[in-house]
Each structure stands twice: as structure tokens, then as C-alpha cells.
């Protein structure tokens, strides 16, 4: 029947394997994006490759089918760098039972493949829904999210979004945001035999770091704000008998709804004021910034997704609230109600990353049932 044929797990596995076979580190995604655009054209769609940076493009395919809501299906094709310890070539897909191994297999080329198959199926059965489906394959999610940011900057408007990142067991309705702050400390150089003649930037930076944990952080019923000093550097890399004139502190701050980049900067600048240091402190928010996000559990998109998920998995979803990514931008920045859901897998950012093949087909079915419910399905029936 239509739904089963459209969500064939073996076709999903074969398509995932094709995508895995193209190495796609951040900045090196052109080949896999060309592969996706070619597949969509063969499927009868009219994708566009739109430049987001030199040699880097996003792939978009739009299906307009009368008045109605717009649903965005989004995934990224870039991967992290291959680590040591792989038992096979990272870009040579390897099948072992229900597991497909390869770099990016689950993070997140299987999710992209599922969105491609769902988009093709919706294009073939326009009699079942009304509205617009927008498929997007983006780049750079593992770095600065240039692809998602470019889509938003282009004026994207959608009524709902599903990011097909792996989250099979706990579909995600929100996550913390991320603020990266650089703190430059400027003191005064002096001969180290007479340190009192200078202002030691390393010492002043240490006073600042020692007080960081005294600063309160936002509270949320589901998400946890955190703070982490990533690095502290001062002085010269070469041995010199000089009081260090400069120091630099890099702070990673995970924020919850109610906190912003501006509020984090203000809290750090407040600490500087309290210290009363003789050194000068310069606090700056650095890229990439991701706002926190949360989709209400009673949103219509969530309602139809929960129904589709329950029919596929056999239980109502246990909602997850996870780490940051492109969903933060679509929801937290663009204001699009968003769900993150994709195939089951493991060993993310590790050797021998894998995806569960049956869950690729299951993801396609959930996407299709959600789309048909959200996009004003005519008679309310669910196709077999």
C-alpha cells in the first residue's frame, strides 16, 4: 500500500548509504548536496541549489499545493571529522543486520534521507493534503549553522518545522541555547623582578574566573543552564621575564528561556564591576549564538505528531529536551513551532557511528502521517 511503499526501510538504507559515501566535512559538502539535488530531480521535483558561502550551498525543494499551512522538513549533511578507531572506512557504508555504519549515518544523513522520501511521497499524493511542503538540506550545522541561518535570512515563513535529527526514543520539543563569550583582560607589562610596577593580566583573569560560579543562572522546569570555562590564556608562548599584559578567557554558557546573549554579557560585565580590578576587561559575545527554544506540548503540530508517533511506536511520545542545533534557529530565532525527530542510532561523533535501518522507514511514516494531519488532510482518514 502507498504508505508502506513510500517508507520502505531498504530504500531508506540505500539512500542513506549513498549520502554517507560522500565525505562532507564542514566546508566540503558540495558533492553530497549535488547528489541530493540530482535525486530530487529524478523524483520529479525542482530543487534549487542556493549559495550560502563560497563552494557551499543549501538544497531547497518546494511543493505548493493550494492554500494551507507550510511545513518545513530540514536536515544537515555536514559531519564532524572522523576520529580514530573506526573498524572500517568511515565513508564506506557497512551493513550488519539492522545496523548501517558510516560517518554521518545517523547524524544525520538517515534523517535527511527520510525527509527526502517523505517529500517525494507527498508530491505523489497531492490529493491527500493542502498547503506547502518545503524540504531543506543545509550545511554547517556542526560548526556555525550557516545553512540554517541563510534560510532564515532569506525570509523563510513556515507554520511548522520538523528537524529530522536522530531522536527516535525521545522526540525533542526544546533545548538550551548557547552563548560563547570571550573576555579579554588588559593589564600593564612590567619587568617580572618588579611586578608591582605592572598590572598582571593573568592574576586579574584568575580573580574573575574564581568568582564565576557565584553568578546565578536562569531556572527552567525542563532545561538546565550551565557555565563552563573553555580556556584561559595569558602571557607569551615564549619564556620571558615580563608581567603578562594580556589574558583571554573563553566561556561557554548554555542558557534557558528567559536568558539571552545580552543578559549573559550583562552578568559578566556586572562581575567585572564588582571586582574593581585595575585591569581593563572587555566582554564580547562571539559566534555561534543559538537562542533556547521550546514548542508547547499543546501546539497543533505536536498533537498530530504525537498521534502519528503513537501509531508507529505503540506508545505516546516521551518528550525530550536536548542539546543545541539548527532547531534552535528555526524555533528560537525564526519563531517556527518545531519538533526534532529522526531515526534511531548511536556512536554520535565517535568511531563506528550507526543507524537502525527499520527506524528510517518508521521515520518516513511518522513524517508522512504528521504532514497529512497538519496540512489539512481532506477527509481525516489515514492512508494505509
Q: Look up residue 105 and give its DSSP letter.
A: I
Residues 92-128: tens digit of each pLDDT: 999 999 999 999 999 999 999 999 999 999 999 999 9
**What's the rounded Cα separation, in Å, for the pair 175 and 157?**
22
Hey, is 138 helix, strand or coil?
A: strand
CA distance 78 to 27: 8
Question: Is the predicted pLDDT of residue 13 greater than 60, yes or no?
Answer: yes
Using CA atoms, how far residue 20 sits from 12, 79, 147, 367, 376, in Å, is: 12, 10, 19, 22, 35
Helix, strand, coil % over all residues of the chain, rounded to 5: 35, 25, 40
HSE-CB for 171 with a 13 A CA cutoff: 27
- What does the chain come to in residues? 384
Region 233-257: mean pLDDT is 96
**Residue from 203, 190, 192 nearest 275 by CA:** 203
Q: What is the mean pLDDT of residues 213-228?
A: 96
Q: What are phi and psi of 121, to 5 degrees?
A: -65, -40
For the chain, residues classed under CATH 3.40.630.10 are: 2-175+292-374
CA 266 – CA 365 distance, rounded (Å): 46
**Closest alpha carbon to 249 in 304, 305, 183:** 183
Q: Three cell numbers at 262?
A: 545580552
pTM of the predicted structure, to 2 decimals = 0.94
The pLDDT value given to residue 381: 40
Instruction: List strands edge to edge, sheet with 177-186.
Output: 226-234, 246-255, 177-186, 280-290
- Give the three cell numbers for residue 368: 508522512
Instruction: Tell me the per-residue pLDDT of 138-178, one tens digit each, with 9 for 90 and over.
Output: 999 999 999 999 999 999 899 999 999 999 999 999 999 99
Mean pLDDT of 8-17: 97
Q: Which residue has the cell 619587568?
A: 191
Specify the pairing of strand 131-138 against strand 99-101: unpaired
Q: For the residues of 73-93, what is the DSSP string, one character each? A: EEEE---PPPPTT-SS-TTS-
Give the chain's end-to-end CA distance (angstroms, integer): 6
Domain with CATH 3.30.70.360 in the chain: 177-290
Q: What is the CATH number of domain 177-290?
A: 3.30.70.360
The neighbour count for residue 67, using CB atoms within 10 Å, is 9
Q: What is the average per-residue pLDDT within 31-45? A: 98
Grid cell, residue 222, equals 525542563
Question: Which CATH class name applies to 2-175+292-374?
Answer: alpha beta
pLDDT score, position 382: 46
Mean pLDDT for the stretch of residues 304-310: 98
> Which whole-number Å values give the CA distances from 246 to 64, 109, 163, 185, 271, in the listed order?
57, 44, 43, 6, 19
Average pLDDT over residues 228-236: 96
- List, in sequence order, every beta strand (DSSP E) within the chain: 48-53, 56-65, 70-76, 94-96, 99-101, 131-138, 160-163, 172-175, 177-186, 226-234, 246-255, 280-290, 293-294, 320-322, 338-340, 345-346, 354-356
Q: How far apart are CA 155 and CA 160, in angstroms?
A: 15
d(CA 51, CA 25): 17
**331 CA to centre of own chain:** 11
Please provide the average confidence, as pLDDT, over all residues in the chain.
96
* Cα distance between residue 61 and residue 133, in whole Å: 8
pLDDT one-digit tens code per residue, 61-80: 999 999 999 999 999 999 99
- Which pLDDT does position 383 carry in this prediction? 53
Average pLDDT over residues 325-331: 97
| Closest alpha carbon to 74 in 5, 136, 127 | 136
Place of cell 493534503: 129
Does the structure show a pLDDT above 90 at 323?
no
- Of the given ranges (15-24, 105-114, 243-252, 316-325), which has the lowest mean pLDDT? 316-325
Amino acid at each position: 500500500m502507498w504508505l508502506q511503499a513510500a517508507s520502505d526501510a531498504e530504500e531508506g538504507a540505500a539512500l542513506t548509504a549513498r549520502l554517507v559515501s560522500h565525505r562532507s566535512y564542514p566546508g566540503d559538502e558540495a558533492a553530497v548536496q549535488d547528489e541530493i539535488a540530482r535525486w530530487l530531480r529524478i523524483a520529479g521535483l525542482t530543487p534549487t541549489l542556493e549559495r550560502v558561502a563560497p563552494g557551499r550551498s543549501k538544497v531547497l525543494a518546494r511543493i505548493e499545493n493550494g492554500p494551507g499551512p507550510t511545513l518545513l522538513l530540514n536536515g544537515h549533511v555536514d559531519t564532524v571529522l572522523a576520529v580514530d578507531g573506526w573498524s572500517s572506512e568511515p565513508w564506506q557504508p557497512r551493513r550488519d543486520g539492522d545496523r548501517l555504519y558510516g560517518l554521518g549515518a545517523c547524524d544525520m544523513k538517515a534523517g535527511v534521507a527520510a525527509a527526502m522520501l517523505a517529500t517525494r511521497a507527498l508530491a505523489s499524493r497531492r490529493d491527500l493534503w493542502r498547503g506547502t511542503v518545503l524540504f531543506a538540506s543545509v550545511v554547517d550545522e556542526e560548526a556555525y549553522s550557516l545553512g540554517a541561518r541563510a534560510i532564515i535570512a532569506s525570509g523563510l515563513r513556515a507554520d511548522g518545522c520538523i528537524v529530522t535529527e536522530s531522536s527516535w526514543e525521545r522526540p525533542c520539543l526544546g533545548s538550551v541555547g548557547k552563548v560563547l563569550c570571550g573576555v579579554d583582560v588588559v593589564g600593564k607589562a612590567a619587568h617580572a623582578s618588579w611586578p608591582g610596577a605592572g598590572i598582571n593580566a593573568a592574576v586579574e583573569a584568575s580573580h574573575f574566573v574564581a568568582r564565576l560560579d557565584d553568578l546565578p543562572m536562569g531556572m527552567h522546569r525542563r532545561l538546565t543552564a550551565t557555565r563552563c570555562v573553555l580556556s584561559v590564556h595569558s602571557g607569551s608562548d615564549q619564556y620571558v621575564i615580563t608581567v603578562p599584559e594580556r589574558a583571554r578567557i573563553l566561556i561557554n554558557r548554555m542558557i534557558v528561556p528567559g536568558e539571552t546573549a545580552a543578559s549573559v554579557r550583562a552578568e559578566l560585565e556586572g562581575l567585572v564591576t564588582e571586582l574593581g580590578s585595575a585591569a581593563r576587561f572587555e566582554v564580547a559575545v562571539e559566534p555561534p549564538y543559538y537562542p533556547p527554544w521550546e514548542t508547547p506540548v499543546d501546539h497543533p503540530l505536536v498533537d498530530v505528531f504525537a498521534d502519528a508517533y503513537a501509531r508507529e511506536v505503540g506508545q505516546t511520545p516521551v518528550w525530550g529536551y536536548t542539546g543545541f542545533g539548527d532547531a534552535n534557529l528555526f524555533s528560537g530565532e525564526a519563531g517556527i513551532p518545531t519538533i526534532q525527530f529522526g531515526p534511531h542510532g548511536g556512536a554520535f561523533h565517535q568511531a563506528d557511528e550507526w543507524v537502525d535501518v527499520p527506524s528510517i522507514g518508521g521515520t518516513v511514516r511518522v513524517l508522512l502521517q504528521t504532514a497529512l494531519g497538519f496540512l489539512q488532510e481532506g477527509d481525516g482518514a489515514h492512508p494505509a
